[in-house]
């Protein structure tokens, strides 16, 4: 994208538009305003494409830009209506809640996809441990394997999840 690759920009737009729109819409409750905010962010990205560094997470930068643009819009709106302080504080709280909800749902989808790709035994051990709260000993007894095997499965599952999430973020 740094070199003006429109296809890369289009892919970026298609990948993030709906999530970004959802974040802006939860705060503004307006389709037009949310579309405008997201489009403004993509225009800024395109205009500054040569300055965007390859280090760091592009996804985090885009989400931060939408968050800031939305807060700026709401701040200006609140200022015009005379309720700046109260609306701004409520907006920031609500925005953090909405943003956290969207991030959590995206994260959960990614982790669920990664877990689905694990071998059945590893997935079962991970599920019993992390989702059902069973101890290593309980899992070992239930599955007829050693506690060390349980520990190995959990360690490997966590390693795979970490590696896959790092790939998604970069």
CATH number where 47 lies: 1.10.1740
Q: Which of 53, 70, 105 is at the close of a domain?
A: 105
pLDDT tens figures, 59-102 = 888 999 999 999 998 888 766 666 556 666 777 777 777 777 78
The answer as to whether 110 is a domain residue is: no
Residue that is written with structure tokens 């970026």 in the block: 12
Domain that holds residue 48: 1-105
Beta strands in the chain (DSSP E): none
Q: How many residues does the chain have?
A: 170
Please indicate, yes or no, whether residues 90 and 122 belong to a single structural domain of this protein: no
Please indicate, yes or no, whether residues 53 and 100 belong to a single structural domain of this protein: yes
The answer as to whether 111 is a domain residue is: no
How far is 61 from 110, CA to CA, in rounded Å? 19
Please indicate, yes or no, whether residues 99 and 126 belong to a single structural domain of this protein: no
Q: Which of 50, 79, 105 is at the close of a domain?
A: 105
The answer as to whether 167 is a domain residue is: yes
How far is 72 from 78, CA to CA, in rounded Å? 10
Residue 9 has pLDDT above 70, yes or no: yes
The answer as to whether 89 is a domain residue is: yes
The answer as to whether 153 is a domain residue is: yes
pLDDT tens figures, 11-22 = 989 999 999 999
The answer as to whether 150 is a domain residue is: yes
pLDDT tens figures, 101-132 = 787 888 888 888 999 999 999 999 999 998 89
Question: pTM above 0.95?
Answer: no
**Region 135-144: what's the mean pLDDT?**
94
Please indicate, yes or no, whether residues 4 and 72 belong to a single structural domain of this protein: yes
Q: Which of 105, 133, 154 is at the close of a domain?
A: 105
Give the count of domains, the chain: 2
20: tokens are 């970004």
């Amino acid at each position: 994208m740094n070199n003006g690759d429109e296809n890369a920009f289009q892919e970026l737009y298609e990948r993030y538009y709906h999530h970004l729109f959802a974040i802006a819409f939860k705060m503004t409750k307006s389709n037009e305003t949310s579309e405008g905010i997201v489009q403004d962010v993509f225009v800024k990205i395109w205009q500054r494409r040569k300055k965007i560094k390859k280090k760091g997470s592009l996804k985090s930068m885009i989400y931060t830009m939408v968050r800031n643009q939305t807060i700026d819009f709401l701040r200006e709106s609140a200022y015009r209506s005379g309720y700046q302080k109260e609306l701004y504080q409520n907006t920031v709280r609500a925005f953090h809640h909405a943003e956290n909800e969207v991030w959590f749902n995206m994260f959960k989808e990614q982790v669920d996809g990664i877990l689905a790709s694990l071998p059945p035994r590893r997935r079962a051990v991970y599920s019993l441990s992390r989702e059902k709260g069973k101890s290593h000993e309980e899992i070992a007894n239930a599955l007829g394997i050693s506690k060390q095997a349980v520990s190995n499965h959990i360690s490997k599952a966590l390693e795979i999840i970490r590696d896959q999430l790092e790939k998604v973020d970069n």
